[in-house]
Amino acid sequence: MKRVLIIGANSTIAVACARCWAANGASFFLVARNASKLEQTADDLRSRGAYEVSVLALDATNLEGHAAMIEEAVAALDQIDIVLLAYGTLPDQAACERDANLAVREFEINGTSAIALLTGLAAVLEAQGQGRLAVITSVAGDRGRLSNYVYGSAKAAVSTFCEGLRVRLYKSGVHVTDIRPGFVDTPMTQGLPLPRALVATPESVGRRIVKGIDRKVDVLYVPAFWALIMLIVRSIPRPIFKRMRL
């Protein structure tokens, strides 16, 4: 039986992953901001076969609340086998360009808070001598692009942090997976002019994430074709790239 801690448990991708684990009788400790929606998520997982589900309402940007949350999760699960960080916001890039405070706030949500959580959680899993630590970043972190470089820079910071953390934890039996989704049909992407052929369903993304964590993949592009797309994007020479409106 897997014991799973999910932070950002109400997100569409997190729910899709949790349903896969619930079908195999996993136990959960779920964390999210919206308490009433969190209870609905918990009930859904119980109906799908989850062994036990505990919940805690917490805003991940409340750094002072992280230690108590982690302590409560360990007490509820006894041991943490899988951690999934699955929260974030997609800011208005133009608004961030006009308002430095907004840009910093979005970086805190998508970058700083995740790094703080990973630091605390890494210590717990390292002490256990086992576990999987997975965090949803984004293909946007692969290169700074005109359309979303505030969001992308925060995700890039988390990806770089994960790379170093993976090296640190390797000999401890703890694995770190950096999950980089492309376009996914979620509330975050509603209304965006996205090419439908590149938009994945949450269910397919959730299945790939669960399998990737199980296989201890280091960097997981979801869907897989985004690895090739981003290889091409990263290969564009800077003199050309700075003239592109990606």
Structure tokens at 208: 């790939």
- Size (the chain), residues: 246
C-alpha–C-alpha distance, residues 189 and 192, integer Å = 6
Residue 151 designated active-site:
yes
DSSP string over 149-188 = HHHHHHHHHHHHHHHHHHHHHGGGTEEEEEEEE--B-SGG
C-alpha–C-alpha distance, residues 174 and 208, integer Å = 20
- Beta-carbon neighbour count of residue 17 at 10 Å? 29
Which member of 87, 151, 170, 221 is catalytic? Answer: 151
Query: Quick check: 218 and 177 in contact, CB under 8 A?
Result: yes
Give the active site residues. Answer: 151
